[in-house]
Protein backbone atom coordinates (compact mmCIF):
# COMPACT_ATOMS: atom_id res chain seq x y z
CA UNK A 1 0.00 0.00 0.00
CA UNK A 2 1.21 3.47 -0.79
CA UNK A 3 0.52 6.50 1.25
CA UNK A 4 -0.77 9.45 -0.70
CA UNK A 5 2.33 11.24 0.54
CA UNK A 6 4.53 8.76 -1.29
CA UNK A 7 2.94 9.64 -4.59
CA UNK A 8 4.89 12.09 -6.69
CA UNK A 9 2.52 15.00 -6.19
CA UNK A 10 3.28 17.97 -8.34
CA UNK A 11 2.92 21.41 -6.83
CA UNK A 12 0.26 22.23 -9.38
CA UNK A 13 -1.79 19.20 -8.24
CA UNK A 14 -1.48 20.06 -4.58
CA UNK A 15 -2.64 23.58 -5.12
CA UNK A 16 -5.26 22.69 -7.71
CA UNK A 17 -8.48 24.31 -6.51
CA UNK A 18 -10.60 21.42 -7.79
CA UNK A 19 -8.78 18.84 -5.66
CA UNK A 20 -8.84 21.19 -2.70
CA UNK A 21 -12.57 21.85 -3.04
CA UNK A 22 -13.28 18.13 -3.46
CA UNK A 23 -11.32 17.35 -0.31
CA UNK A 24 -13.21 20.05 1.56
CA UNK A 25 -16.61 18.79 0.35
CA UNK A 26 -15.74 15.23 1.31
CA UNK A 27 -14.57 16.46 4.68
CA UNK A 28 -17.85 18.30 5.24
CA UNK A 29 -19.86 15.16 4.38
CA UNK A 30 -17.87 13.00 6.82
CA UNK A 31 -17.83 15.81 9.35
CA UNK A 32 -21.64 15.93 9.45
CA UNK A 33 -21.79 12.33 10.68
CA UNK A 34 -18.99 13.03 13.16
CA UNK A 35 -21.09 15.95 14.35
CA UNK A 36 -24.10 13.72 14.96
CA UNK A 37 -22.04 11.25 17.01
CA UNK A 38 -20.49 14.17 18.88
CA UNK A 39 -23.93 15.69 19.45
CA UNK A 40 -24.98 12.67 21.50
CA UNK A 41 -21.73 12.74 23.43
CA UNK A 42 -21.84 16.45 24.17
CA UNK A 43 -25.47 16.31 25.26
CA UNK A 44 -24.65 13.59 27.79
CA UNK A 45 -21.64 15.54 28.98
CA UNK A 46 -23.64 18.74 29.28
CA UNK A 47 -26.17 17.14 31.62
CA UNK A 48 -24.38 14.28 33.39
CA UNK A 49 -20.88 15.84 33.33
CA UNK A 50 -19.21 12.64 32.24
CA UNK A 51 -17.65 11.40 29.06
CA UNK A 52 -19.60 8.37 27.95
CA UNK A 53 -16.97 5.78 27.08
CA UNK A 54 -19.70 3.38 25.90
CA UNK A 55 -20.61 5.70 23.03
CA UNK A 56 -18.38 3.90 20.52
CA UNK A 57 -19.60 0.45 21.49
CA UNK A 58 -23.20 1.65 21.20
CA UNK A 59 -22.41 2.97 17.71
CA UNK A 60 -21.00 -0.44 16.75
CA UNK A 61 -24.14 -2.10 18.14
CA UNK A 62 -26.34 0.30 16.15
CA UNK A 63 -24.37 -0.43 12.97
CA UNK A 64 -25.14 -4.12 13.50
CA UNK A 65 -28.80 -3.29 14.13
CA UNK A 66 -28.96 -1.34 10.85
CA UNK A 67 -27.16 -4.14 9.03
CA UNK A 68 -29.54 -6.83 10.29
CA UNK A 69 -32.61 -4.67 9.73
CA UNK A 70 -31.58 -4.56 6.08
CA UNK A 71 -30.49 -8.16 5.76
CA UNK A 72 -33.17 -9.96 7.74
CA UNK A 73 -36.15 -7.60 7.39
CA UNK A 74 -35.23 -6.01 4.07
CA UNK A 75 -35.56 -2.57 5.63
CA UNK A 76 -33.87 0.29 3.84
CA UNK A 77 -31.38 1.84 6.31
CA UNK A 78 -33.05 5.25 6.07
CA UNK A 79 -36.46 3.72 6.85
CA UNK A 80 -34.93 1.64 9.63
CA UNK A 81 -34.26 4.87 11.55
CA UNK A 82 -37.90 4.89 12.71
CA UNK A 83 -37.32 1.49 14.31
CA UNK A 84 -33.71 1.65 15.47
CA UNK A 85 -33.68 5.17 16.90
CA UNK A 86 -36.56 4.53 19.37
CA UNK A 87 -35.05 1.13 20.19
CA UNK A 88 -31.71 2.66 21.06
CA UNK A 89 -33.39 5.48 22.91
CA UNK A 90 -35.02 2.84 25.15
CA UNK A 91 -31.71 1.00 25.50
CA UNK A 92 -29.89 4.19 26.51
CA UNK A 93 -32.64 5.14 28.92
CA UNK A 94 -32.53 1.71 30.58
CA UNK A 95 -28.71 1.66 30.75
CA UNK A 96 -28.55 4.98 32.58
CA UNK A 97 -31.60 4.38 34.77
CA UNK A 98 -30.88 0.82 35.84
CA UNK A 99 -27.14 0.32 35.40
CA UNK A 100 -24.97 3.44 35.22
CA UNK A 101 -26.96 5.57 37.67
CA UNK A 102 -27.35 3.03 40.49
CA UNK A 103 -23.89 1.51 40.04
CA UNK A 104 -21.96 4.77 40.20
CA UNK A 105 -23.36 6.04 43.53
CA UNK A 106 -23.30 9.62 42.23
CA UNK A 107 -19.51 9.72 41.83
CA UNK A 108 -18.17 11.10 38.52
CA UNK A 109 -15.15 8.82 38.46
CA UNK A 110 -17.31 5.75 39.06
CA UNK A 111 -19.61 6.83 36.23
CA UNK A 112 -16.63 7.02 33.87
CA UNK A 113 -15.59 3.52 34.91
CA UNK A 114 -19.09 2.08 34.57
CA UNK A 115 -19.39 3.43 31.02
CA UNK A 116 -15.94 1.98 30.29
CA UNK A 117 -17.06 -1.39 31.70
CA UNK A 118 -20.16 -1.26 29.51
CA UNK A 119 -18.01 -0.40 26.49
CA UNK A 120 -15.83 -3.45 27.07
CA UNK A 121 -18.92 -5.58 27.70
CA UNK A 122 -20.87 -4.45 24.60
CA UNK A 123 -17.90 -4.51 22.23
CA UNK A 124 -16.95 -8.03 23.24
CA UNK A 125 -20.53 -9.27 23.29
CA UNK A 126 -20.68 -8.16 19.64
CA UNK A 127 -17.37 -9.88 18.96
CA UNK A 128 -18.65 -13.04 20.65
CA UNK A 129 -21.98 -13.03 18.79
CA UNK A 130 -20.90 -11.89 15.32
CA UNK A 131 -17.10 -12.47 15.24
CA UNK A 132 -14.68 -9.95 13.84
CA UNK A 133 -16.00 -10.12 10.25
CA UNK A 134 -16.79 -6.90 8.49
CA UNK A 135 -20.32 -6.74 7.06
CA UNK A 136 -21.58 -4.37 4.41
CA UNK A 137 -24.95 -3.83 2.77
CA UNK A 138 -25.42 -3.64 -1.00
CA UNK A 139 -27.87 -0.92 -1.86
CA UNK A 140 -28.96 0.07 -5.36
CA UNK A 141 -28.03 3.68 -4.62
CA UNK A 142 -24.86 2.85 -2.66
CA UNK A 143 -22.55 3.85 -5.50
CA UNK A 144 -24.67 6.53 -7.14
CA UNK A 145 -23.10 9.93 -7.15
CA UNK A 146 -24.05 13.50 -7.88
CA UNK A 147 -22.21 15.29 -10.67
CA UNK A 148 -21.27 18.77 -9.53
CA UNK A 149 -19.62 19.57 -12.84
CA UNK A 150 -16.08 19.55 -11.46
CA UNK A 151 -16.37 16.60 -9.05
CA UNK A 152 -18.64 13.83 -7.83
CA UNK A 153 -20.09 13.14 -4.40
CA UNK A 154 -21.77 9.90 -3.32
CA UNK A 155 -25.56 10.22 -2.94
CA UNK A 156 -25.71 8.49 0.50
CA UNK A 157 -23.23 11.02 1.84
CA UNK A 158 -25.37 13.91 0.61
CA UNK A 159 -28.43 12.35 2.22
CA UNK A 160 -26.63 11.88 5.53
CA UNK A 161 -25.33 15.45 5.40
CA UNK A 162 -28.88 16.77 5.05
CA UNK A 163 -30.27 14.34 7.63
CA UNK A 164 -27.80 15.45 10.28
CA UNK A 165 -29.06 19.01 10.04
CA UNK A 166 -32.67 17.85 10.26
CA UNK A 167 -31.83 15.83 13.39
CA UNK A 168 -30.03 18.81 14.90
CA UNK A 169 -33.03 21.03 14.17
CA UNK A 170 -35.47 18.53 15.71
CA UNK A 171 -33.24 18.20 18.75
CA UNK A 172 -33.07 21.96 19.10
CA UNK A 173 -36.88 22.21 18.91
CA UNK A 174 -37.27 19.46 21.52
CA UNK A 175 -34.85 21.29 23.81
CA UNK A 176 -36.47 24.67 23.28
CA UNK A 177 -40.17 23.83 23.30
CA UNK A 178 -41.00 20.64 25.21
CA UNK A 179 -41.24 20.26 28.98
CA UNK A 180 -38.68 17.46 28.88
CA UNK A 181 -36.31 19.73 26.98
CA UNK A 182 -36.76 22.48 29.53
CA UNK A 183 -36.19 20.00 32.37
CA UNK A 184 -33.02 18.75 30.69
CA UNK A 185 -31.71 22.29 30.38
CA UNK A 186 -32.65 22.99 33.98
CA UNK A 187 -30.76 19.93 35.25
CA UNK A 188 -27.75 20.81 33.10
CA UNK A 189 -27.63 24.31 34.59
CA UNK A 190 -28.38 23.64 38.23
CA UNK A 191 -28.98 20.07 39.30
CA UNK A 192 -29.87 20.75 42.92
CA UNK A 193 -32.20 23.62 42.05
CA UNK A 194 -33.95 21.50 39.44
CA UNK A 195 -34.38 18.72 41.98
CA UNK A 196 -35.87 21.15 44.49
CA UNK A 197 -38.26 22.40 41.82
CA UNK A 198 -39.65 18.88 41.59
CA UNK A 199 -37.78 17.58 38.55
CA UNK A 200 -36.99 13.86 38.72
CA UNK A 201 -33.23 14.07 38.08
CA UNK A 202 -32.70 10.32 37.65
CA UNK A 203 -35.41 10.33 34.95
CA UNK A 204 -33.90 13.36 33.19
CA UNK A 205 -30.43 11.80 33.27
CA UNK A 206 -31.86 8.68 31.67
CA UNK A 207 -33.82 10.71 29.07
CA UNK A 208 -30.61 12.54 28.14
CA UNK A 209 -28.66 9.31 27.88
CA UNK A 210 -31.48 7.89 25.75
CA UNK A 211 -31.44 10.87 23.39
CA UNK A 212 -27.66 10.68 23.12
CA UNK A 213 -27.90 6.98 22.28
CA UNK A 214 -30.63 7.67 19.71
CA UNK A 215 -28.26 10.16 18.00
CA UNK A 216 -25.73 7.35 17.68
CA UNK A 217 -28.42 5.03 16.28
CA UNK A 218 -29.39 7.56 13.60
CA UNK A 219 -25.70 8.08 12.77
CA UNK A 220 -25.37 4.31 12.31
CA UNK A 221 -28.32 4.17 9.87
CA UNK A 222 -26.82 7.07 7.90
CA UNK A 223 -23.40 5.43 7.86
CA UNK A 224 -24.25 1.85 6.96
CA UNK A 225 -24.89 2.44 3.19
CA UNK A 226 -21.26 3.55 2.72
CA UNK A 227 -19.61 2.07 5.81
CA UNK A 228 -19.58 -1.36 7.50
CA UNK A 229 -20.61 -3.14 10.68
CA UNK A 230 -17.91 -4.69 12.86
CA UNK A 231 -17.53 -4.98 16.66
CA UNK A 232 -14.95 -2.18 16.68
CA UNK A 233 -16.38 -0.05 13.86
CA UNK A 234 -17.70 2.59 16.24
CA UNK A 235 -14.41 3.25 18.04
CA UNK A 236 -12.78 5.23 15.25
CA UNK A 237 -15.72 7.63 15.20
CA UNK A 238 -15.83 8.10 18.90
CA UNK A 239 -12.20 9.03 19.32
CA UNK A 240 -12.85 11.69 16.73
CA UNK A 241 -16.08 12.64 18.50
CA UNK A 242 -14.15 13.18 21.77
CA UNK A 243 -11.97 15.66 19.89
CA UNK A 244 -15.00 17.43 18.46
CA UNK A 245 -16.69 17.66 21.83
CA UNK A 246 -13.57 19.10 23.40
CA UNK A 247 -13.01 21.48 20.48
CA UNK A 248 -16.59 22.69 20.42
CA UNK A 249 -16.84 22.89 24.19
CA UNK A 250 -18.15 20.00 26.28
CA UNK A 251 -21.91 20.33 26.48
CA UNK A 252 -22.25 22.80 23.60
CA UNK A 253 -24.63 21.69 20.81
CA UNK A 254 -23.63 24.32 18.21
CA UNK A 255 -20.03 23.59 19.19
CA UNK A 256 -20.51 19.92 18.32
CA UNK A 257 -21.99 20.76 14.91
CA UNK A 258 -19.33 23.28 13.91
CA UNK A 259 -16.57 21.22 15.53
CA UNK A 260 -17.72 18.15 13.57
CA UNK A 261 -17.56 19.95 10.26
CA UNK A 262 -14.18 21.53 11.08
CA UNK A 263 -12.65 18.20 12.12
CA UNK A 264 -14.11 16.49 9.04
CA UNK A 265 -12.40 19.02 6.79
CA UNK A 266 -9.13 18.98 8.76
CA UNK A 267 -9.02 15.18 8.58
CA UNK A 268 -9.78 15.17 4.87
CA UNK A 269 -7.09 17.75 4.06
CA UNK A 270 -4.50 16.28 6.46
CA UNK A 271 -5.18 12.80 5.10
CA UNK A 272 -4.74 14.12 1.60
CA UNK A 273 -1.43 15.88 2.28
CA UNK A 274 0.19 13.69 4.96
CA UNK A 275 -1.39 10.23 4.59
CA UNK A 276 -4.15 8.69 6.62
CA UNK A 277 -2.23 7.70 9.79
CA UNK A 278 -0.53 11.02 10.24
CA UNK A 279 -3.79 12.81 9.44
CA UNK A 280 -5.20 11.11 12.53
CA UNK A 281 -2.25 12.28 14.63
CA UNK A 282 -3.19 15.80 13.54
CA UNK A 283 -6.65 15.33 15.04
CA UNK A 284 -5.25 14.07 18.33
CA UNK A 285 -2.79 16.92 18.51
CA UNK A 286 -5.64 19.39 18.07
CA UNK A 287 -7.41 17.48 20.81
CA UNK A 288 -4.49 17.65 23.25
CA UNK A 289 -3.71 21.28 22.52
CA UNK A 290 -7.35 22.34 23.02
CA UNK A 291 -7.57 20.30 26.23
CA UNK A 292 -4.45 21.90 27.62
CA UNK A 293 -4.87 25.44 26.39
CA UNK A 294 -8.60 26.00 26.33
CA UNK A 295 -10.36 23.05 28.00
CA UNK A 296 -13.75 24.71 27.77
CA UNK A 297 -13.45 24.61 23.97
CA UNK A 298 -14.19 27.27 21.43
CA UNK A 299 -17.89 27.59 22.23
CA UNK A 300 -18.14 26.25 25.78
CA UNK A 301 -19.12 28.22 28.84
CA UNK A 302 -16.64 28.39 31.71
CA UNK A 303 -15.14 24.99 32.59
Partner 1 sequence: MKIFLPIAIVVAALAAVPLFVHSNVVLNFLVVTLLIALAGQGWNILGGYGGQYSFGQAAFFGTGAYVTAIIQVHYGVNAWIGFAAGIAAGAAVGAFIGALAFRAALRSSYFALVTLAFAEVLRILASVAPITGAGVGLLVKLDLRAQAFQFQSRAVFYLVVLALLAVSLVIAQLLERSRFGVWLIAVRENEDAAMALGVDAFAVKLAAMVLSAAITAAAGCFYVQYFLFIDSGIAYGTWISIEALLTPIIGGVGTVFGALVGALVVKSLGEGVKLLTGDVPGLDLMIYGAVLVLVIGFAPRGLVGAFTDARAHLARRFKTSAPVGEVARG
| Interface residue list for partner 1 (CB under 8 A) | 45, 49-51, 53, 99, 102-105, 107-110, 112-114, 116-128, 131-132, 231, 239, 242, 246, 250, 277-278, 280-281, 284-285, 287-288, 291-293, 295
Other residues' Cβ atoms within 10 Å of the Cβ of residue 300: 21
Shortest Cβ distance from residue 150 to partner 1 (Å)? 33
Q: Which is nearer to partner 1, 48 or 265 (CB)?
A: 48
63 contact partners, CB below 8 Å, separation of at least 6: 220, 223, 224, 227, 228, 229, 230, 233, 234
Shortest Cβ distance from residue 47 to partner 1 (Å)? 13
Shortest Cβ distance from residue 281 to partner 1 (Å)? 5
Helices and strands (H, E) in the chain, number of each type: 13, 2
Shortest Cβ distance from residue 248 to partner 1 (Å)? 14
Shortest Cβ distance from residue 69 to partner 1 (Å)? 23
Packing angle of the helix pair 276-293, 253-274 (nearest 10 deg)? 140
The half-sphere exposure of 186 on its side-chain side, counting CA atoms within 13 A, is: 17
Rounded CA Rg of the chain: 20
Q: Which is nearer to partner 1, 10 or 109 (CB)?
A: 109
Shortest Cβ distance from residue 275 to partner 1 (Å)? 8
24 contact partners, CB below 8 Å, separation of at least 6: 265, 268, 269
Q: Which is nearer to partner 1, 124 or 178 (CB)?
A: 124
Q: Which is nearer to partner 1, 115 or 268 (CB)?
A: 115
Q: Which is nearer to partner 1, 217 or 250 (CB)?
A: 250
Residue pair 37/216 in contact (Cβ under 8 Å)? The answer is yes
Q: Which is nearer to partner 1, 29 or 266 (CB)?
A: 266
DSSP character string of 132-187 = S--B----TTTT-EEE-SS-EEEHHHHHHHHHHHHHHHHHHHHHHHSHHHHHHHHH
What one-character DSSP code corresponds to residue 212?
A: H
Residue pair 238/55 in contact (Cβ under 8 Å)? The answer is yes
Q: Which is nearer to partner 1, 53 or 70 (CB)?
A: 53
Shortest Cβ distance from residue 116 to partner 1 (Å)? 7
Amino acid sequence: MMHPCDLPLRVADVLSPIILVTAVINGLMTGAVYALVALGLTLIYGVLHIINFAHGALLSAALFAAFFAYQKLGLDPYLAIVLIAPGFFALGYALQRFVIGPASHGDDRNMLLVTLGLAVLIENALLYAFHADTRTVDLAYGFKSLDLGFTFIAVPRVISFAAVFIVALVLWLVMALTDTGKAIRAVAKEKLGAELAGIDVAHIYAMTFGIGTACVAIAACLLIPTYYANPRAGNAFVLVAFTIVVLGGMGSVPGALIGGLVIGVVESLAGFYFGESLGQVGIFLIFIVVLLVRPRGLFGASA
